[in-house]
Structure formats: C-alpha cells, structure tokens
C-alpha cells in the first residue's frame, strides 16, 4: 500500500498523532514519558519545530506543531526513531514500536485552535474507565494529569522551555484573562459532555481549515505524484533504518566516530553516552564532537567520512 504523502510548506501547523504497534503501550511508566518529552525538546531545538500542545496516552501521543522550515517528516521521523531506540534499549526489546507512519493533519489555527486544544487536553478523561464519572470528578482527574500541556495552559505548572504557549492569545489578551477563559472552556465542555473530535469537520481527513488551505494542500499533493511518490514509497521503515545505523556503528573502527554516530545518527543523549563510556558528563561528549567536526573541516579523510554519513542521514525520511 502506498504511503500517504505529506503536505509540507513553511510555517504549516499540524496535529500529529502516532499509535503503538498493535495498539500496544508506547509508554510503560513515567520514566518513558520523560524520555519522550526530552526527545520532543531535542527535536524542537534541532529542527526548529514549534511545539504548541501535547498529550501522552498509554498507547499513543498527540502533538500540535508548527514547522517554519517545512520539515515535518524529518522532524517527527527523527523523534520516533530516537524514542524507539531509547525505549528498546531500556526495555531490552527490538523491532517496531509505532504502528506505521505517524498521522499529520493540517490545521488553520485562527479557526480551529480552540477546538483542537480542547480535544487534545480532554483525552485523559475520554477513556472508557472515566466516562461514567461526574464532570467535577473528570475535572479533578484532568487537573492531576501531568503528561499533557493542560497544566501549563491553566497556569498550574511552568511550561518546559520548548513548549510555545502563544495560542493562549485565542483565549484572551492578557495571561490572566486567557487562563481564566481557557479553564472555563474546558469546564463547560465537561459539563456539556462535549468530548467530540474536531476532525469530523476535516476536509479529506487531512485539512482542518478553510477552502484556501484545502486548495493549497491539494495542489501540493498533486506536485508530489510520480517520481516523488516512488521515492517516498521506497524508504524503509524507521526501525530498519535504526538497525542499519547500528550495523554501521559496529563496523566503524574509530571510537570518536562511533560517538558521533551514536549522537548524530542514533539520537542517543550525550549524557547517556558519557555515562556508558566513563566520561565526566555530556559536555565531554560535546567537546569530542566539536573537535571531530573541526578536524573534518580541514582534513580530507575525516571530511569524506563526515560527508558520507551526513549524506546517508539526509536521505532518511519518514
């Protein structure tokens, strides 16, 4: 079956979801959730992605992101690969973690930001075990749920550095007013038992927006047919790509380049690599990377090796 093409353009806004393979858990405990959110922060910095909303459920996640560089596939593909590697290493498993490709739907923020925020943040009280509770009890459950951006929007906890809260402007002109209106909006949704999905209004299941955005999406999709479709369909699964990088790591004789591959290609955290190899901290690993890359700028053998690995990296799409 052909993989769906991505509609990508600068500053596009997306609702991104990914589900565990065979609907199995992608988070087994809070440590896994922290690892995932750390990776989200790394993705935001590395790919200049703006993260606006998130919610982590046991077997799936929701993200709302903006991509100023039109690089959604590379950014989210990197996130899923990195998290899969870290999850598999921690739980001593191998193979797929996510069920195929992530889903991404275009969003027109001015018209649908409020509905999307409400839908994502209400996920924890939409599950079957909670549906029978009163609206007041659901609200208390929601207020205690730490694995979404809800508490950041409500002002109950500080937002991580990578989380952008500028969509709060849709609730009010000042922070205090916006938080009040945001909380009131969720309370009313719970009282009215309005837990419906805004995607019922999506055009073609892809675009939550007006006619202009829908036309733009269709035009971009049409441009991606033919050779582009063949190229996209030819990419291997992300887990297979990670396995190939592991093999390259084993074949690389230079310990410095092994570190480079672990950090740059496999997405391992510098602090974890440092701990495993006996270095003081992640800063020591960063210095090794900087010296290696500086050497590649002036020495041909190192430059050729770096270019080869970077070429392979750039060809890995989601």
The residue extents of the domains of the chain are 12-231, 236-314
Lowest mean pLDDT among 16-30, 77-91, 215-229: 215-229
What would the mean pLDDT of 78-88 be, rounded to a whole number? Answer: 93
CATH 3.30.70.1290 fits 12-231, yes or no: yes
Q: pLDDT tens across 177-206, in order?
A: 999 999 999 999 998 877 677 877 788 778
Q: pLDDT band at 317, cuts 50/70/90? A: very low
pLDDT, position 4: 54
pLDDT at 266 over 80: no
Question: Do residues 96 and 237 lie in contact, with contact meaning Cβ atoms separated by under 8 Å?
Answer: yes
Q: What is the structure's pLDDT at 225?
A: 56
Q: In the predicted model, what is the mean pLDDT of residues 67-94?
A: 92
Instruction: Give the integer Cα–Cα distance in Å for 124 and 119.
Output: 10
Instruction: Read off the pLDDT of residues 244-260 as tens digits, 9 standing for 90 and up.
Output: 666 777 778 888 988 88
């Amino acid at each position: 079956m052909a993989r769906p093409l991505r509609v990508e353009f600068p500053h596009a806004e997306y609702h991104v979801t990914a589900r565990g393979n065979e609907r199995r858990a992608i988070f087994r405990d809070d440590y896994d959730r922290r690892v995932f959110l750390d990776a989200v922060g790394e993705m935001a910095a590395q790919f200049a992605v703006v993260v606006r909303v998130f919610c982590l459920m046991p077997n799936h996640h929701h993200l709302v992101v903006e991509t100023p560089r039109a690089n959604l596939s590379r950014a989210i593909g990197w996130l899923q690969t990195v998290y899969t590697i870290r999850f598999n290493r921690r739980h001593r498993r191998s193979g797929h973690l996510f069920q195929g490709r992530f889903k991404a739907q275009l969003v027109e923020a001015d018209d649908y930001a409020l509905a999307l925020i409400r839908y994502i943040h209400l996920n924890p009280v939409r599950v079957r075990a909670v549906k029978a509770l009163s609206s007041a009890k659901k609200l208390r459950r929601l207020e205690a749920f730490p694995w979404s951006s809800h508490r950041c929007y409500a002002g109950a906890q500080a937002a991580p550095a990578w989380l952008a809260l500028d969509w709060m402007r849709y609730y009010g002109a000042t922070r205090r007013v916006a938080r009040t209106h945001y909380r009131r909006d969720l309370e009313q949704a719970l009282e009215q038992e309005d837990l419906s999905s805004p995607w019922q209004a999506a055009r073609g299941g892809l675009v939550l927006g007006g006619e202009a955005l829908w036309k733009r999406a269709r035009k971009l999709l049409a441009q991606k047919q033919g050779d582009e479709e063949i190229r996209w369909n030819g990419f291997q699964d992300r887990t297979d790509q990670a396995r190939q990088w592991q093999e390259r790591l084993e074949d690389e004789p230079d310990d410095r380049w092994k570190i480079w591959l672990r950090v740059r290609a496999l997405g391992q955290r510098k602090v974890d690599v440092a701990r495993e190899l006996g270095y003081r901290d992640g800063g020591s690993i960063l210095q090794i990377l900087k010296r290696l890359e500086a050497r590649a700028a002036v020495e041909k053998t190192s430059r050729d090796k770096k270019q080869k690995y970077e070429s392979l990296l750039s060809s890995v799409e989601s």
